[in-house]
Amino acid sequence: MSYYFTILSPTDTPIFNIAFGTSKGGGDGIARFRFPDTAQYMNQFIIHSSLDIVEEAQWTNGGMYLKHVDTYPPAAAYISAFLTPSGARFLLLHQPPQLPNSNTGSLGSSSLLGPGGSTTRASSSSIAANPTSPQTEEAVRQFMNEIYESFVKTAMSPFYKQGMEIRSPVFRTKVTAAGKKWL
Amino acid sequence: MSTNKASRIGEEIWKTRVDKVNAELVTLTYGTIVAQLCQDYNSDYQEVNKQLDKMGYNIGMRLIEDFLAKSGVGRCANFRETADMIAKVGFKIFLNVAPTVTNWTSDNNQFSLIFDDNPLADFVELPDDGRAQDELWFSNILCGVLRGSLEMVQVQIEAHFVSDVLRGDDTTEMRVSLVRYIEDEMPPEEE
């Protein structure tokens, strides 16, 4: 499972992003997206294109965690969203290491996936295998909540201005740690 | 007066005679002041340190009266006692922290205050412009407070920070040195 995490300010400026891989089930924490290295911008495209859906979904319930909001089938990319009351959005793109077997048919094109059929799945945990399962939703919720806590602390720093890029190494470390812990 | 006794006095006053305010109010207010100073002086951190010290000095000159009224303690017999009084009573009743007094020089004229916890610096991360980490003493107002308040009771000191966890150091340490006891002096013109 590979992850791409972005925070957008209320005015849609990206203020933080990080790519990381799963550490569960023997994962080494390194992101391995299915795009070639030259096409990593695809993550940003996909994640930002989900913003419309996030905006629709944000009024559907009172919660801050919107769960899984969008899917980009060609790349098997799943997007989960979390809103803060001030309007910042946390978006997490997750991409399983290979297509879950049950969904192979419905997800269509596999041209981006490289040689399929390999059975060496890096992780067999339920999170990696089922991006929309309740366990995954729960893990992402824990992850988002932990980041929310760190985000609030970072935003309280007197030298941080609203809407400014988050450059704090402490925050980055905390996000990495939260990713390791929950995803 | 022993350190323990000073601790007890501080604890007692903190519990019974001090109005409390929300810690985050203090933290955010102070943080805003420092950030604003950095902006006003275009990140000239030496100047910011100086201004903070000056603000502290003005606070200290008034605060000492409040301190004496609240605590009701008398004159300290020596500088060691003064140190305990500052750490265990002064800091306790105004900031609810009790820094450790340590690293005395052999002539008993210099000591260090080690802050395990600094309510002024919660949430703070210094700007990453490559200079703030080396130049800005974020909590420098405290040096001024000590200097101002002690000066009002005829003790002239010099205080400065030597390390700060905000800069990545292991401890937050303030060095305080006794300069002299101020004797009452006649105004020079009067015969």
ipTM of predicted complex: 0.77
Closest listed residue to residue A99, CA positions, set A114, A81, A83, A82: A114
Segment A120-135 shows an average pLDDT of 60
Mean pLDDT of chain A: 79
Q: A25: burial class by Cβ within 10 Å (0-12, 13-18, 19+)? A: middle
To probe the interface with B, which of A149, A156, A159 has the most B CB atoms within 10 Å?
A159
CB contacts of A154 in chain B (<8 Å) are 123, 125
pLDDT of residue B149: 95
pLDDT of residue A122: 43
Residue of higher predicted confidence among B39 and A36: B39
pLDDT of residue B142: 97
In this complex, do B127 and A159 lie within 8 Å of one another by their Cβ atoms? yes
Sign of the torsion formed by the C-alpha atoms of B113, B114, B119 and B120? positive
C-alpha span between B45 and B26 (Å, rounded): 22
Please name the member of A153, A158, A167 whose beta carbon is closest to the beta carbon of B128. Answer: A167
**pTM attached to this predicted model:** 0.80
Segment B72-98 shows an average pLDDT of 93
pLDDT of residue A40: 76
**Cβ contact B42:B121 at 8 Å:** no
**Cβ contact A31:A176 at 8 Å:** no
Enter the tokens of residue B148: 């101002």
CATH number at residue A102: 3.30.450.70
CA distance A167 to chain B (A): 8
In the structure, what pLDDT confidence band is assigned to residue A117 with cuts at 50, 70 and 90?
A: very low
Indicate whether A48 pLDDT > 60.
Answer: yes
Residue B159's SS3 state is: strand
Segment B59-78 shows an average pLDDT of 93
Indicate whether A115 pLDDT > 50.
Answer: no
Q: Total structural domains in chain A?
A: 1
Cα torsion for A144, A17, A113, A29, to the nearest 10°? -70
In the structure, what pLDDT confidence band is assigned to residue A91 with cuts at 50, 70 and 90?
A: very high
C-alpha span between B119 and B96 (Å, rounded): 9
Closest listed residue to residue A80, CA positions, set A31, A129, A141, A171: A141
Indicate whether B189 pLDDT > 80.
Answer: no
Task: Report, in angstroms and rounded to the nearest whole number, the Rg of chain A calculated over CA atoms.
Answer: 16
**Domain containing residue A118:** 2-182
Nearest CA in chain A to B24: A156
